[in-house]
Structure 1
Amino acid sequence: MGSYDAFCKLYSKGLLFTKPIPLKDGSHSMRNIIDQLKDSLSRALTIFYPLTGHLVTKKGDDAPSYHVILDCTDAPGAQFAHAVVDAQVADIIAPDDVPPIVESFFPFVGTVNNDGHTLPLLAVQVTELVDGIFVGCSINHVVADGNSFWHFFNTWSEISRTTFRNNSNSEFVPRPPIVKRWFLNGQGPIINLPFTHHDEFIERYLPSPQRERFFHFSPESVACLKEKANAECNTSKISSFQALAAVVWRSITRARQLADEQITHCWLPVDNRLRLDPPLTADYFGNCIQALNATTTAGELLSNNLGWSASLLHQAVAGHTDASIRAWLEAWVRTPFVYQYGQFVDHQSVMFGSSPRFDMYGNDFGWGRPLASRSGNGNKFDGKVTLYPGREGGGSIDLEVCLPHQPMKALELDPEFMIAASPSQAF
């Protein structure tokens, strides 16, 4: 399900752990840990086998006729790498800004989805720090969205933990993925794209220099924003995320000092699985997301209150129904296209990605919970905001905000935003 977003970069996320102290029997040594991760990854991929395949392009006799399939019959498998760096955990999580070294923790930097024709669809890099371990993972976004990425990651860590602590080789998986493809009204599995060669739609996007900074929002702060937005709209329907997104949209727009008449969008990722009728299971493995947006002018956004902004986002989400999803897909099948970054990168808008609902901090490979989560450089641009759950749980949220230097400085001085943001969590 979903259009062929071959131009977008890979979905890259990773977790930072404290390095365990080696024991006398050899367990918890890095050699033992690497062997355990390789073994558990191999067993996880027997369940999530689409990640071991590759993309294959088929061309019909009548041009333009171009379609891409996922071939698992001649599966090249996944890539696994072990790296060592002279850095410490504090070097990664102490700064508010994401240090440049984090980019090196992820494989396939600069790769786009269409490269899955020649490169593995899944690549893992385990980076050994002086006192920590970073497990970075890049997945081809054509094959899996964030929900499927963390489903795989959670399963992999559970297999590793079970083996590591219980010396058990049990293959029991409480949430096996559903890999059968869903197609609209029985269409597919072949959908022709209006191209004769990938050069017609592939461009290598190079982001301009920018800062990437983390901001933390406590459960109390998120609850206050939700209460304020609902009170200003005399409703109870605005969600915590919609209220927080409204604050971010307003504050970044103010930091950019846009003209009142300038159009600005706020893009939100929405999982279609449970919005379809009948719904798909949450364990459906694939890419089943869509980007919604609310649109207004900078002047309207900033002259109205938080509730007004949040209500625009609520209306966009509430209108995303089974009927609207099917109508969008039917239109795409009639006139297929490939996503381009220009649709989202306009330096006046904000785009959210990932979700604070993903189980990031529940991943334990056998040596404890993660200290922090970070992203690779794929799909980062001016105005991109990546969502993470706060490590303490309880509804807390971390935001990774990408902005050029001057707007970021202005955001750091924005009262509405910084009053809601909490001090960074120290671990």
Structure 2
Amino acid sequence: MTSPPVKLISECFIKPPDNGLSENAKQHIHFTPFELPFLNANYSQKGLLFTKPPPENQDFSITTYLDELRRSLSATLTHFYPLAARLATRKQENPHSYVIYIDPENSPGVKFVYATVDVNISDILTSTHVPLVVHSFFDLNHVINHDGHTLPLLSIQVTELNDGIFIGGSVNHLIADGTSFWHFMAAWSETFRSKEQVRCFKRRAIERYDPIINLPFTHHDQFIERFKHPLFKERFFHFSSATVSSLKAKANTECNTVKISSLQAVAALLWRCVTRIRRLSDESETICKLVVNNRCRVNPPLSDDYFGNPIQTVRGTATVEDLMGHGLGWTALRLHEAVGNHDNTAVEKWVESWLKNRVIYKFSGMFHPNVVHIGSSPRFDMYGCEFGLGKAVAARSGGANKADGKMTMYPGRNGGGSMDVEVCLLPEHMKDLEDDDEFINALNDQH
């Protein structure tokens, strides 16, 4: 189906109220070793699809609604002021210095876009694969984090469908991971509803190393890479509470343990099934990468509402022959051990290693035909963000940071431990996954 065009109606920039910022809010904010390696990553793009109040609801006006969104966004930015900033680079020749930081001053603010599209909610939800038009519900497509020097660190696009409203955020991935982004969205939603601010930005220097990190470059051309992935299909698969419970029980029973989590069990299923449909040689090494949150792993730990991007990936590895020759539990245990081994000692060791060789990742080498990459989290309270429209009917993402083998985890709309998984695969592999017996049987297992 040809995607209808999304029509841009208006755009503006939103800043915190002039009298709302303290002197502290004007200070430079420096990045950590967890963040700087991702200068080449795309902005993170997540959003929520809501049902629009029906025409007979005389109290609803899209013009008034947009005004309220802008007002509450400005109020929220008082407490999340770095989102209204820009990146800056300070260079010095003798002694050499190349430092990238967040500069809250002299920025136009957060971009706010209003657009319309001739599409119904049912066009999004009943399509087997995610329609390409969904990518147009987000601003700042195809840009990388380093572009935050000249582009906003956050752009909000509100797209009005025939019977729905989509609120999509594109945020610089240096400044915010999923935990931080949904923390901000929850704060904005609460401010919209209550007219009061109840959450705020929290960030402190992570101890044990200099907060100002000098990069070994003289110009950004020395590390910038813009990588275009091949076309792939996207599809959402729903794992009911019963399905998740069944997979978790099966994995734990096979390993005679109770340690394997729901996420590890679902990830193990994805790793096994995607590896099978790729038809790799038996001796090939296959990898499952899991994004993990370092807040609780460093010592002393960071608070849950620490604002930043303190994430890393851990990996389970196995030959194709071993992965296919063993069951779900064996596979899940590989992932459980990888997560369990990622403690404060492992984090410190990685930080020390990176500080000795301050590399910026090239994303052309991060996705590979043998890799399954699992990001985001079903624990994020996405559906708690209502913006005066009631519970969202769906959560969706843009086209950023995706490739063959990328899996994105969401909470199921009905809660209870259910999950939705957004699967990205090459078209021929997607078709095979949809016919894979182990995968389909797991989805249909309600006992």
User: How would you bin the TM-score normalised by the shorter chain?
Assistant: over 0.9
Give the aligned partner of residue 404 of structure 1: 426
Change (3 A) 1:219 1:408: same
Give the aligned partner of residue 114 of structure 1: 146
Instruction: Tell me whether 1:295 sits opposite 2:317 in the alignment.
Output: yes
Q: Is the 2:35–2:309 contact (alpha carbons within 8 Å) kept by the matching residues of 1?
A: no
Q: Is the 2:404–2:424 contact (alpha carbons within 8 Å) kept by the matching residues of 1?
A: yes
Partner Cα separation in structure 2 for residue 127 and residue 228 of structure 1: 42
Partner Cα separation in structure 2 for residue 65 and residue 370 of structure 1: 47
TM normalised by structure 1 equals 0.94
Equivalent residues in 2 for 1:13-412, closer than 5 Å: 13-21=46-54, 27-62=59-94, 65-162=97-194, 169-171=195-197, 173=198, 175-180=199-204, 182-188=205-211, 190-412=212-434
Instruction: State the secondary structure of the residue aligned to 2:208.
Output: helix
Partner Cα separation in structure 2 for residue 179 and residue 373 of structure 1: 27
Instruction: State the secondary structure of the residue aligned to 2:174.
Output: coil
Give the aligned partner of residue 11 of structure 2: none
Aligned length: 412
Instruction: State the secondary structure of the residue aligned to 1:81.
Output: strand
The one-letter code of the counterpart of 2:41 is C
Partner Cα separation in structure 2 for residue 148 and residue 54 of structure 1: 17
Q: Is the 2:35–2:310 contact (alpha carbons within 8 Å) kept by the matching residues of 1?
A: no
Report the more deviating stretch, 125-134 or 3-12: 3-12
Partner Cα separation in structure 2 for residue 365 and residue 327 of structure 1: 42
Partner Cα separation in structure 1 for residue 215 and residue 123 of structure 2: 46
Change (3 A) 1:315 1:134: same
Aligned-residue offset at 1:360: 0.7
Instruction: Tell me whether 1:415 sits opposite 2:412 in the alignment.
Output: no
Report the more deviating stretch, 194-203 or 44-53: 194-203
What CA deviation, in whole Å up to 9, does each residue of 1:180-227 have, x standing for no partner? 3x2341412x21112221111111111111100110101111111111
Partner Cα separation in structure 1 for residue 282 and residue 387 of structure 2: 51
Aligned-residue offset at 1:279: 1.1
What CA deviation, in whole Å up to 9, does each residue of 1:33-68 have, x standing for no partner? 111111111111111001011110111214864220
Instruction: State the secondary structure of the residue aligned to 1:361.
Output: helix
What CA deviation, in whole Å up to 9, does each residue of 1:301-349 have, x standing for no partner? 1111111111100110000111111111111112111122134211111
Change (3 A) 1:340 1:422: farther
Partner Cα separation in structure 2 for residue 390 and residue 397 of structure 1: 4
The one-letter code of the counterpart of 2:373 is M
The one-letter code of the counterpart of 2:367 is V
Q: Is the 1:184–1:329 contact (alpha carbons within 8 Å) kept by the matching residues of 2?
A: no
The one-letter code of the counterpart of 2:187 is T
Partner Cα separation in structure 1 for residue 432 and residue 423 of structure 2: 13
Q: Which runs of 5+ in 2 are unaligned?
A: 1-31
The one-letter code of the counterpart of 1:109 is N
Aligned-residue offset at 1:268: 0.3
Q: Is the 1:22–1:29 contact (alpha carbons within 8 Å) kept by the matching residues of 2?
A: no
Partner Cα separation in structure 2 for residue 31 and residue 22 of structure 1: 14
Aligned-residue offset at 1:88: 0.5
Instruction: State the secondary structure of the residue aligned to 2:229.
Output: coil
Give the aligned partner of residue 43 of structure 2: 10
Q: Is the 2:52–2:165 contact (alpha carbons within 8 Å) kept by the matching residues of 1?
A: yes
Aligned-residue offset at 1:364: 1.1
RMSD after superposition: 1.5
Instruction: State the secondary structure of the residue aligned to 2:408.
Output: strand
What CA deviation, in whole Å up to 9, does each residue of 1:257-305 have, x standing for no partner? 0111111110001111111222111010111111111111111111111
Give the aligned partner of residue 166 of structure 1: none
The one-letter code of the counterpart of 2:317 is T
Change (3 A) 1:414 1:378: same
TM normalised by structure 2 equals 0.90
Partner Cα separation in structure 2 for residue 411 and residue 22 of structure 1: 41
What CA deviation, in whole Å up to 9, does each residue of 1:326-384 have, x standing for no partner? 11111111211112213421111100111000011111111211000000100010100
Instruction: State the secondary structure of the residue aligned to 1:43.
Output: helix
Percent of matched pairs sharing the same residue = 49
The one-letter code of the counterpart of 1:311 is L
Q: Is the 1:269–1:352 contact (alpha carbons within 8 Å) kept by the matching residues of 2?
A: yes
Aligned-residue offset at 1:23: 6.8
What CA deviation, in whole Å up to 9, does each residue of 1:132-182 have, x standing for no partner? 0000100000001100000000111111122xxxxxx333x1x323133x2
Q: Which runs of 5+ in 1 are unaligned?
A: 163-168
What CA deviation, in whole Å up to 9, does each residue of 1:45-95 have, x standing for no partner? 111001011110111214864220111122321000100110100011111
Instruction: State the secondary structure of the residue aligned to 1:134.
Output: strand
Give the aligned partner of residue 15 of structure 2: none
Aligned-residue offset at 1:22: 5.4
Partner Cα separation in structure 2 for residue 109 and residue 379 of structure 1: 10
Instruction: State the secondary structure of the residue aligned to 1:114.
Output: helix
